[in-house]
Amino acid sequence: MKRTSIEARRWLFPGALSAILAGSGLWYGLTDNAPSQASSAVSKPTQSAILADSTRPSQESGEQRGLENLAQESGPATTPDSLGPQPFAASLSGTEIDGALTADDNGELVINLQVRDFFDYFLSTVGEVAPETAIQQIETMARTHLPEPASAQAMALLDEYLAYKQASLQVMQTRLDPARAGEPAYQLAALGDALAQLKQLRSATFSSEAHRAFFGLEEAYSEYTLATLAIQQRTDLSEQGKQALVQWHRNQLPEQLRTTEQHLHASTRQQQARTAAIESASSPEEAGRQLAELGVNQQGVESVVNYLKQREHFDQRFEDFREAVDREASSGLAEADLEKQREALLERHFPQPQDRTWARLKMLGNG
- State the DSSP string of 52-83: H-TTS-GGGHHHHHHHHHHHHHH-S-B--S--
3-state secondary structure of 108: coil
In a domain, 63, yes or no: yes
- Identify whether 46 is part of a domain: yes
Given 141, 173, 205, the domain boundary residue is 173
d(CA 204, CA 199): 9
Distance (Å, whole) CA 304 – CA 291: 9
Q: For 29-35, what is the mean pLDDT?
A: 32
Higher pLDDT, 61 or 128: 128
pLDDT band at 366 (very low <50, low <70, confident <90, very high): low
Amino acid sitting at position 78 = T
- Show Cβ contacts of residue 17 under 8 Å, excluding neighbours closer than 6 positions: 126, 127, 131, 165, 166
Q: Is residue 321 part of a domain?
A: yes
Distances (CA, A) of 327 to 134, 238, 331, 332, 367: 70, 53, 7, 10, 17
What is d(CA 282, CA 289) in angstroms, rounded to the nearest whole number? 11
- Residue pair 219/195 in contact (Cβ under 8 Å)? The answer is yes
Q: Is residue 120 part of a domain?
A: yes
pTM of the model: 0.58
- Parent domain of 340: 314-365
Buried b / exposed e over 236-275, threshold 16 CB at 10 Å, is eeeeeeeeebbeebbeebeeebeeebeeeeeeeeeeeebe
Q: What is the mean pLDDT of residues 65-81?
A: 60
Which pLDDT tens digit goes with each residue over 296-339? 899 988 988 998 998 888 989 999 998 888 888 887 777 788 88
- Interhelix angle for 208-233 vs 184-205, to 10°? 170
Count: domains in the chain: 2
Domain boundary among 154, 173, 192: 173
Is residue 354 assigned to a domain? yes
Q: Is residue 69 in a domain? A: yes
Residue type, position 202, single letter: R
Give the three-class secondary structure for 66.
helix
Q: Identify whether the C-beta of residue 87 lies closer than 8 Å to the C-beta of residue 122.
A: no
Residue 14 has pLDDT above 60, yes or no: no
Cα–Cα distance between 243 and 238 in angstroms, integer?
9
Query: Looking at residue 152, what DSSP letter applies?
Result: H
CA dihedral 66, 70, 76, 81 (to 10 degrees): -130
171 and 197 Cβ atoms separated by less than 8 Å = yes
Q: Which residue, 144, 173, 202, sits at the end of a domain?
A: 173
Q: Rounded distance, CA 269 to CA 248, Å? A: 17
Q: Output b/e per residue, 297-306; b: 16+ Cβ within 10 A.
A: eeeebeebbe
The pLDDT assigned to 137 comes to 97
Closest CA to 241 of 250, 253, 232: 232
For residue 53, tell me if it sits in a domain: yes
Q: What is the tens place of the pLDDT at every residue in 244-282?
A: 898 889 889 988 888 888 888 778 788 888 888 888 999
Which of 117-126, 309-318, 341-350 tops mean pLDDT? 117-126
What is the per-residue DSSP string for 221-241? HHHHHHHHHHHHH-SSS-HHH
146 found inside a domain: yes
